[in-house]
Amino acid sequence: MIKIGSFEAKTHFSDILKRVKKGEEILITNRGQVVAKITAYAENGPDPKLFIKKVKELSKGKRCSLKEINEMTAEGRKH
């Protein structure tokens, strides 16, 4: 993984996208601090329909553990 300053990233954005498309991950820095990470997009991410189904089950009175609630919350934040 490489680090690139924000000015350089702006100047060479198309080159960065080509590298990311090939699987490389790139960190963008601003004044030496990492502010962003660019990675390739994955189509097969979390399924929002599954999250909605779990929420509907909860609204019908189904009980679930704190761990399940935390997992659903984290899942929802991914979208």
Shared domain check, 32 and 53: no
Is residue 42 classed as helix, strand or coil in its secondary structure? Answer: coil
Shared domain check, 53 and 34: no
Structure tokens at 46: 């979390």
| Lowest-pLDDT choice from 36-40, 61-65, 69-73, 75-79 | 75-79
* Averaged confidence pLDDT in the chain: 82
Q: Which domain holds residue 56?
A: 48-77
CB atoms within 10 A of CB 25: 12
The per-residue pLDDT for range 26-63, each reduced to its tens digit, is 999 999 999 999 988 877 666 677 777 777 777 777 67
Domain harbouring 30, CATH code = 3.40.1620
Residue 43 lies in a domain: no
The pTM score is 0.53
Structural domains counted in the chain: 2
Q: Is the pLDDT of residue 5 over 90?
A: yes
Say what the pLDDT of residue 34 is. Answer: 93
Residue 22 lies in a domain: yes
Give the separation between CA 73 and CA 39, rounded to whole angstroms: 23
